[in-house]
Structure 1
């Protein structure tokens, strides 16, 4: 038996067993939710076999019926998805489900079609996605997302909601007061970084108990849906991060302070860490997991636990690191004998100087066997760590695509890497890879193509043909029998350029300088983390594709009624405008730097930037997927009509996408190109910046970057403190017609 085969046998045992009596009731429920006209048309049933496999065929003796046989519940969902996309040419998107538009009678299958996953695990979520995307989502949005995941074959999703409820009970059990506990927990939009041990405490007010209770109740809706759809949730565990008061309650306990994080004041970072070899750690771990099982049932053996996310260990001694991990695994398995420790491998990249191979090996060697830990190689498409660590020294790991830092909005992807890379890694000598997954920081629908591609690659033994894949993807996206030549050309351009970006200096996110705090230098052509360098020619890519879509909308007006088509028109127009912004910014700085220019020249050079911001805001208001009001509405819904509580939630939501901290510690990290943010917030900053440049030209005084930064932070603080108040219902929605607005924009900015 090969090493890889042995790993597969273990993970098959860890996931729902492949039996002929597969529970398909949850998939029937999905059909009822998303395809109510087609209830009774599908026959779903289990079949014998190993792994996740399915067979699709026409139902014998049932005219117009389709049968999906499957070895697991999740494989049944994937088989259904294969049918509706390949034969029905409909899909479910982050912008909404179109599955109900599947034709009747159902299209014939003909010769039966089979499929099987090439890896046992298909993973989804980053811990910070629970801040950048789902922080305020209700179950209606979760329901759509979970159906999206199941159909695409995800069977191992992260599930963080409700964590604080269990953690608080554990802290209370060891004698901490509520005041001591809530001094430690952060605000609602920043909980992931408290869970990571990066932050403690809050700004804007203490987290309400009501929010804790509501998220716990939401988790009790999410988890049963995950399970019935054939997914095994990864639940939290006790990490070891504790309130500072813990040390006074247990003066002899081994508690150390973590490192500072991202420029926050000591009061808000340097989290206390109860070391796993202290006897109190396994006691609290046992309590946590037991309470969690009592609350949700015995539904998983997978536990997420990250101790050193952007937070270096107390010691670099290899024996110390091995002791931390061995005691961590022991604590998990004392609470759950079959526990699997899941950790994000981001630390090995982000702190690569600390995490030498010797230290990585020592830390991972603390896990007693190769089947006790599962590592998410978080940024494999650009910065893989498995190859430098000898496949994580034999420990199981998942090939992941990291994307959308901070939930930023910018078109980018690397289709060659995510189609070829996983296949090569899977078959590499000594590979211990057992999964593929998505670990984007924020989920933004503009890059859905590259997310779909990775999850589809998990069901193909050979790299997907990018050109063919993109064409088929766009065909079902626009609900057409055959893709018009203009659209095929447009997506051919995007698929081979914007979404085949192999420039390692500008990957994962391409941030627009429009979203950055204005300055005279340092904005354009940034590389590395949060690059602003645009790795393609805008005219031959974005503009060319947009013009082809617009032409097709006029020759085929019915496309205007397809929500995804309208979304793509807005997305391409948005990207065109923010790219054009760079040109006008460069011109402004050139004029300002010229010794022969006048204050009026600077003012005139700055006006196109303000005009563009205004036009971009107008564009974004035409589509429901680009509204600040949606983010704010989602946050305020948890207030149950309490005005002061709603204002608290709104502040947390606004602060995250602007200052990200009380004093702009991570200013603009989670910036968003949303209507209401662009026009009001970015517009105010750039207007103030241009006014400053005009003022310096008039007075002859030197430009003071520090003063400008303080002005921008002040604008951010003002924006963060605003509330919707008694705004009319219309204020929350869209306004204007996308296609009319885009026609005008193309005349102005091309």
Structure 2
């Protein structure tokens, strides 16, 4: 670990000279009423035996909390440990800061809290996160993100915003025209892939210069705050990708065309690559880094540079590969003698057929001094390339959790790999120097990312049951004591949803709802973009029920933003899961029975109704609305309607067709209200209509996709005009109550509040129930014997003749009420799912039988 020790000694020395004002500012931003209760102090003697960050938090005699650490990041981590474990408050994605909810007088500590990092670096960000998630963020959103990172001990974040400003200046300096440069730069939602040479140009329009300038200013704010909070930003550098007409100004330069990417037309891919052993590469690198240092100051010497992200090198010759990396490092060192090259190790997995071990070793071998490079093992939890490459042949590397592709939002996790395997890697590999988060999109499953960052401070694999319990406490405690139902719900999700061990599914699940419709290939896919569930859907329903009941027992939870967000998120997944059997039923019926249009209409309508309910649930939370994404994009137009329209097109295209011709359709799909109702639902409607009008033997996928393509293309050109929802539409409690009454709903009803007096001898054969849903009355007979309805036991009074399912305002739930005696029917919660499934399955037949018996 010589490299890590040497670098960390320098880092600790610089941290000792840093001001702690950045931490006081953080406290002032997030919990101003508590500012006087904290005291921060750099203590260089607090250093882990291996030289890594260490903190100590203790109560001072005057009642303040003294937070000490050997670096700013150590201090932030100590502050976070106290806030979560003692004050039970935290700051979160989407929800924002709940730190102000800490007790007005912070609890005193009986004994000091201590912590020591097991690794020198805690890294954050995938290069493409800057497109999938943060593309349209404003400064306020970045402020929350940076405070979140600081408190979780992140000290090595990628800072990948606004680099086009410097790149344009570099290109102008060598004589390229603005028109030539413009044909190279991609749209705001796709800049990540332009930066490492997958695509070029912006379909639909050109990248506005106003966008370039605004993003440059935003980057200045981001970097300033990162430094204040004790982080070492990983800065951009010149990668070698240039506009096609660079050959005009450098006619003798070694410029080649890169490989095609993603099926894109040649106009938008095969980027020109200036090879690093050409002297012009060093010239442009020095220009880029010089201008960057002039703009931001001398704040970091670590640079990100990825040349072969899903691009195939033009030669597999070992000397060629070695010279590429050798020339690249030389260009960095010429511009900054202290430069360290950081690269993502994704290329070795994505193009593993090319990157054999001898080629990996040759490419990395061009960097002769191991200390000059850091490699992000980008997908360690599922595809640990560090093992195949013998710890990258001795180069320092960081164990990363990728977890999410495209910003998909399915609930998913690998708690054992993130704790046990991450710990084992640290023990086995002497060149491992950190833990990192590398999700393509930061859209959910926050607990999985917290888990890895906290694992960085634990010498043993974290005990996940205890960890989830503590996490739930700090997430919800701001509204008082945490109901047991929340602990039970999260524990059930921990042991199922977040405990995937079958790595045929190696990332976040993409909901079937969001898939492009078809009669095959829609469900059950595995791999890095799977649609196969890794748990029993019924287990998630049980978790949902526990969480919902918590709101019943503690009504104040419905005003808790964390609870609201999580209830929407879990409900979203429950409904997504319920869509799968509805889809399979439709397709099976179509394929096997040559079903009539009426039957297909009936089955299709159930799918569409579920989508309508899903959209209604999502609409209750701003964080689950398409309008937020579009509004954020358009806001960067700053009143220029043409630019705002281009920005909205980018926002729409990325999450749907992903390319001018649907090259990566639905890769970045999202579970958002508005997207469900205006895009996914109409697509499924087109599919259902096609099945109704097309005999099974005549099904033609090409003809169907032509119909679909017309709609998908038209949707790209639309603009969002719908007003933000208000009133009952954003009342999650009321929306959930309505959704749970739907005939297809997988969400069980709660039992009635009080039981009837009854005897074991039921002297009747059926109870009559009248369900009133949105003014539509549905009648059905409920058999009262186990023989007729297996697994269902109904406790009711023989005198009851007519019942109604009614909303009770006091209980905030639907109850079954006796119309005659004003008593309640009690149905056991565990049996309600069976009841609803049975009623839904043969509802028409039951109504018909009931009507016949009445007529007799």
Could you say which TM-score interval applies, normalised by the shorter chain?
A: over 0.9
2:493 is equivalent to residue 477 of structure 1? no
Question: What is the CA-CA distance between 1:735 and the residue it aligns to?
Answer: 3.0
Within 5 A, what are the aligned runs for 1:691-706? 691-697=689-695, 702-706=698-702
Alignment correspondent of 1:572: 570
Aligned counterpart for 1:743 among listed residues 727, 737, 741: 737
Within 5 A, what are the aligned runs for 1:65-464? 65-94=64-93, 95-428=95-428, 430-445=429-444, 447-464=445-462
2:715 is equivalent to residue 716 of structure 1? no
CA distance in 1, matches of 2:576, 2:649: 27
CA distance in 2, matches of 1:538, 1:354: 40
Question: What is the CA-CA distance between 1:605 and the residue it aligns to?
Answer: 1.3
Of structures 1 and 2, the larger Rg is shown by 2
Question: What is the CA-CA distance between 1:734 and the residue it aligns to?
Answer: 9.3
CA distance in 2, matches of 1:596, 1:318: 59
Show CA shifts across 1:70-119 (max 9, x none). 11011111111111111100010002110011112110111111111110
Alignment correspondent of 1:58: 59
Alignment correspondent of 1:557: 555
Q: Is the 8 A contact 1:402 1:438 kept in 2?
A: yes
Question: After alignment, is 305-314 or 711-720 more displaced?
Answer: 711-720
Q: Is the 8 A contact 1:341 1:373 kept in 2?
A: yes
Alignment correspondent of 2:606: 608
The secondary structure found in structure 2 opposite 1:437 is: strand
Show CA shifts across 1:655-695 (max 9, x none). 10111011101110111110000011001100000000000
Q: Is the 8 A contact 1:10 1:371 kept in 2?
A: no
Q: Is the 8 A contact 1:629 1:733 kept in 2?
A: no
CA distance in 2, matches of 1:14, 1:351: 36
The secondary structure found in structure 1 opposite 2:36 is: coil
CA distance in 2, matches of 1:34, 1:710: 52
Question: What is the CA-CA distance between 1:485 and the residue it aligns to?
Answer: 2.7
CA distance in 2, matches of 1:486, 1:80: 29
Question: What is the CA-CA distance between 1:277 and the residue it aligns to?
Answer: 0.2
Question: What is the CA-CA distance between 1:507 and the residue it aligns to?
Answer: 2.2
TM-score for both structures, normalised by structure 2: 0.85
Q: Is the 8 A contact 2:183 2:243 kept in 1?
A: yes
Question: After alignment, is 279-288 or 642-651 more displaced?
Answer: 642-651
Question: What is the CA-CA distance between 1:733 and the residue it aligns to?
Answer: 10
The secondary structure found in structure 1 opposite 2:371 is: coil
Q: Is the 8 A contact 1:253 1:274 kept in 2?
A: yes
Alignment correspondent of 1:45: 41
Distance 1:659 1:732, change over 3 A: farther
Question: What is the CA-CA distance between 1:16 and the residue it aligns to?
Answer: 4.6
Show CA shifts across 1:385-437 (max 9, x none). 00111110000000000022110110001011001112101110x53100001
Q: Is the 8 A contact 1:657 1:668 kept in 2?
A: yes
Alignment correspondent of 2:784: none
Question: After alignment, is 251-260 or 287-296 more displaced?
Answer: 251-260
Question: What is the CA-CA distance between 1:472 and the residue it aligns to?
Answer: 0.6
1 or 2 for the larger relative contact order (CA 8 Å, sep ≥6)? 1
Show CA shifts across 1:47-85 (max 9, x none). 02332111100022x13x111011101111111111111
Question: What is the CA-CA distance between 1:482 and the residue it aligns to?
Answer: 5.6
CA distance in 2, matches of 1:241, 1:121: 29
CA distance in 1, matches of 2:102, 2:14: 29
Show CA shifts across 1:609-659 (max 9, x none). 100111100000011110111101111111111111111110111110111
Q: Is the 8 A contact 2:15 2:230 kept in 1?
A: no
Question: After alignment, is 678-687 or 705-714 more displaced?
Answer: 705-714
Q: Is the 8 A contact 1:635 1:653 kept in 2?
A: yes
Question: After alignment, is 677-686 or 713-722 more displaced?
Answer: 713-722
Q: Is the 8 A contact 1:198 1:269 kept in 2?
A: yes
Question: What is the CA-CA distance between 1:516 and the residue it aligns to?
Answer: 1.1
2:652 is equivalent to residue 654 of structure 1? yes
Alignment correspondent of 2:671: 673
The secondary structure found in structure 2 opposite 1:386 is: helix
Q: Is the 8 A contact 2:435 2:452 kept in 1?
A: yes
CA distance in 1, matches of 2:422, 2:231: 22
Distance 1:19 1:278, change over 3 A: closer
CA distance in 2, matches of 1:39, 1:360: 51
Within 5 A, what are the aligned runs for 1:525-604? 525-539=524-538, 541-595=539-593, 597-604=595-602
Q: Is the 8 A contact 1:18 1:71 kept in 2?
A: no
Question: What is the CA-CA distance between 1:273 and the residue it aligns to?
Answer: 0.3
CA distance in 1, matches of 2:503, 2:737: 35
Alignment correspondent of 2:622: 624
Q: Is the 8 A contact 1:630 1:732 kept in 2?
A: no
Structure 2's unaligned 5+ residue stretches are 747-856
Q: Is the 8 A contact 1:22 1:71 kept in 2?
A: no
Question: What is the CA-CA distance between 1:20 and the residue it aligns to?
Answer: 5.0
The secondary structure found in structure 2 opposite 1:299 is: coil
Distance 1:18 1:334, change over 3 A: closer
Question: What is the CA-CA distance between 1:528 and the residue it aligns to?
Answer: 1.2
Question: What is the CA-CA distance between 1:509 and the residue it aligns to?
Answer: 1.6
CA distance in 1, matches of 2:594, 2:132: 46
Distance 1:189 1:378, change over 3 A: same
Question: What is the CA-CA distance between 1:716 and the residue it aligns to?
Answer: 1.6
CA distance in 2, matches of 1:352, 1:144: 38
Question: What is the CA-CA distance between 1:22 and the residue it aligns to?
Answer: 4.3
Alignment correspondent of 1:15: 11
CA distance in 1, matches of 2:594, 2:19: 77
Question: What is the CA-CA distance between 1:740 and the residue it aligns to?
Answer: 1.8
CA distance in 2, matches of 1:666, 1:324: 30
Distance 1:412 1:75, change over 3 A: same
Structure 1's unaligned 5+ residue stretches are none
CA distance in 1, matches of 2:577, 2:493: 15
CA distance in 1, matches of 2:503, 2:7: 33
The secondary structure found in structure 2 opposite 1:362 is: helix
CA distance in 2, matches of 1:383, 1:140: 35
Q: Is the 8 A contact 1:471 1:483 kept in 2?
A: no
Question: What is the CA-CA distance between 1:736 and the residue it aligns to?
Answer: 2.8
CA distance in 1, matches of 2:436, 2:180: 38
Alignment correspondent of 2:798: none
Alignment RMSD: 1.4
Question: What is the CA-CA distance between 1:483 and the residue it aligns to?
Answer: 4.2
Q: Is the 8 A contact 1:124 1:437 kept in 2?
A: yes
Show CA shifts across 1:202-232 (max 9, x none). 1110000000000001011110000000101
Q: Is the 8 A contact 2:184 2:200 kept in 1?
A: yes
State the number of aligned residues.
737
CA distance in 1, matches of 2:113, 2:16: 19
